[in-house]
Structure 1
Amino acid sequence: MTNVVKLIDHAVLHPTQTSADVESACALCREVGVASICVKPSHVALATRLLAGSSVLPSTVIGFPHGGTSTAAKVAETHAACQDGAREVDMVVNLGAALAGEWSLVADDIAAVVAAAREHRAITKVIFETGLLPDDATKIKLCELSEAAGAAFVKTSTGFGFVKGDSGALTSTGATVADIRLMRGACSPAVQVKASGGIRSLEDALAMVEAGATRLGTSATAAIAAGKSGASY
């Protein structure tokens, strides 16, 4: 069976999480051997120090969670994060531009972040927020643009996307098996797929891997490592 723990980017991204949370998460990540720990940009330097000498990579998010910051701001954020030690950056596409079909803007935005990360020998994952996109054609187009820009991964969700139902209640969106299969099919083997959002158990994780994901974003790492269900970002 695939050791899914080694595919996890452990998320410490909730707005209320503190340096103490990062410290405990880094200890967990070193113990179980995840791929990376994904922290807020302000915590990258701390995570880099705490992970020194381990196989766990420091990673972070760019333009998070809504993707609406300017390209210049995303590029500056990427440089700063990589200078602090980030080896992987997960950027959010400009969702408004994607929904408007402003594909040149979207493509240039992704390419600029990829280029900035490459200056530091870091890789880029592109977050689509699939639960907020209207159709498969939009997701496929984003896969094509991400690959053309040189991204290493395409990624489903931030874990902080919500849709409002008829009652007014908000429902969180996240990775689905259907979207992972779609994204895997829309990219060449040169681009990997990351599932994130709503992955709460070993069963969830295995389903995403079976569908084609090679990286998993979750905060339920301890539960997954123990083969149980747990809370997820």
Structure 2
Amino acid sequence: MTAYSLDDFARLIDHTNLHADATRADMIKLCNEAKKYHFKMVAINQVQSALCAEQLQGTDIDTGAAIAFPLGQTSIAAKVFEAKDAMDHGANEIDYVLNITELKDGNDDYIEDEMTQMVAACHERNVPCKVIFENCYLTKEEIVRAATIAKRVRPDFIKTSTGFGTGGATVADVRLMKQTVGDAVHVKAAGGIRNSDDFLAMIEAGADRIGTSSGVKIIEALRRRMADDHVDSIAINR
């Protein structure tokens, strides 16, 4: 069992706004909420990197840029360029969507090359790299293949979903991904996690990071639960 304080839970959250119609004011609000609740990161579209990095300057909250989002259907060179451009403009975490077509076609060499180049581009700047699988389009066998590649290449995280596909994170998928990579790679659950029960279930299944646009709602619900139970932590079976 692992005991989590309210701040421990907050530090698992990538506070997310990836909507195409998000305004500058929406980005500033996102960053202010991240500072208030001490979230780990703001997850934003790549073009918002400079704005969010400026808003979060002087804090320990990261600016996480989404690359080749949400389809993953760009070349390796384009993904590497986009990631480097994001980092040049202040992003200090990268979440990229792998090439789903190549994975489904069985081209594991392509997936490994793509992952290797993206991880190298990030790690040469000491920036964490997360690989988004988009599990709703994959079979269990394809999830395991991608996770096995990740176990060799060692991105920092493998991630369930963009939140823009036909489905989001499931406990079963998080558990399968974690069982495949073990302690070599962390797992991020994202997509459809909107309440504290789902949040806790994903952590118990093995997720070390949660991407959600409902972070404020989730933390406030956990705050009330802990106050009602007169506790300052919640134990989770990990």
Q: TM-score, normalised to structure 1's length?
A: 0.91
Paired position in structure 1 for 2:201? 207
1:144 matches 2:148: yes
Aligned-residue Cα RMSD (Å) equals 1.1
CA displacement 1:62-102 (0-9 Å, x = unmatched): 11101110000000001101111111101101000011111
- Tell me, in whole angstroms, the C-alpha distance in 1 between the residues paired with 2:53 and 2:151: 28
- Tell me, in whole angstroms, the C-alpha distance in 2 between the residues paired with 1:215 and 1:91: 15
- Tell me, in whole angstroms, the C-alpha distance in 1 between the residues paired with 2:126 and 2:196: 32
**Contact 1:10-1:219 at 8 Å conserved across structures:** yes
1:45 matches 2:50: yes
Q: Secondary structure at the match of 2:72?
A: coil
Shift of 1:11: 0.9
The one of 200, 217, 220 aligned to 2:214: 220
Q: Secondary structure at the match of 1:227?
A: helix
Shift of 1:150: 2.2
Higher relative contact order (CA 8 A, sep 6+): 2
Shift of 1:147: 2.4
- Tell me, in whole angstroms, the C-alpha distance in 2 between the residues paired with 1:193 and 1:226: 24
- Tell me, in whole angstroms, the C-alpha distance in 2 between the residues paired with 1:39 and 1:214: 19
CA displacement 1:1-50 (0-9 Å, x = unmatched): 52322100011101111211110010000000111001111110111110
Paired position in structure 2 for 1:19? 24
Bigger helix share: 2
Identity of aligned residues (%): 38
Matching residue's letter, 2:206: G
Q: Secondary structure at the match of 2:216?
A: helix
- Tell me, in whole angstroms, the C-alpha distance in 2 between the residues paired with 1:79 and 1:120: 9
**Contact 2:154-2:184 at 8 Å conserved across structures:** no
- Tell me, in whole angstroms, the C-alpha distance in 2 between the residues paired with 1:145 and 1:188: 13
1:9 matches 2:9: no
Paired position in structure 1 for 2:235? none
1:159 matches 2:171: no
- Tell me, in whole angstroms, the C-alpha distance in 2 between the residues paired with 1:47 and 1:214: 23
Paired position in structure 1 for 2:231? none
Unaligned runs of 5+ in 2: 223-238
**Contact 1:83-1:120 at 8 Å conserved across structures:** no
**Contact 2:174-2:189 at 8 Å conserved across structures:** yes
Shift of 1:53: 1.2
Unaligned runs of 5+ in 1: 163-172, 229-233
Matching residue's letter, 1:154: I
Q: Secondary structure at the match of 1:142?
A: helix
**How many pairs does the alignment contain?**
217
Shift of 1:145: 1.0
Paired position in structure 2 for 1:58? 63
